[in-house]
């Protein structure tokens, strides 16, 4: 049923269904089972990609915050040194 417009793997499996009927798990639900596996794999890949992108964004934000804090500390120290030198 999914030989036209479907995945190449499905076409190949459906073409050799008679010779490998033990691995297909029957003729009725084998195609939908493979579709479900493909959907699950796609969902898992999308979730992993989203998690990696979020982790990279969070890491970049943490680096930016650390750099900003270091710059603020250096600027405050320079201002304090200049004020002390001018006052003294």
What pLDDT, on the 0 to 100 scale, is given for residue 68? 98
Higher pLDDT, 8 or 55: 55
What pLDDT, on the 0 to 100 scale, is given for residue 15? 52
2, 12, 38, 49, 78 from 24: Cα distances, Å: 14, 12, 15, 30, 73
What pLDDT, on the 0 to 100 scale, is given for residue 36? 87
Q: What is the DSSP letter of 3?
A: S
What's the pLDDT tens digit per position in 25-84? 444 555 677 888 999 999 999 999 999 999 999 999 999 999 999 999 999 999 999 999
Whether residue 16 has pLDDT greater than 90: no
């Amino acid at each position: 049923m999914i030989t036209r417009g479907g995945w190449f793997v499905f076409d190949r499996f459906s073409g050799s269904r008679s010779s490998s009927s033990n691995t297909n798990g029957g003729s009725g639900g084998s195609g939908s089972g493979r579709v479900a596996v493909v959907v699950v794999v796609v969902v898992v890949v999308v979730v992993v990609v989203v998690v990696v992108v979020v982790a990279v964004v969070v890491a970049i934000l943490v680096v930016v915050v650390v750099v900003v804090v270091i710059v603020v500390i250096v600027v405050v120290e320079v201002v304090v040194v200049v004020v002390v030198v001018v006052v003294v």
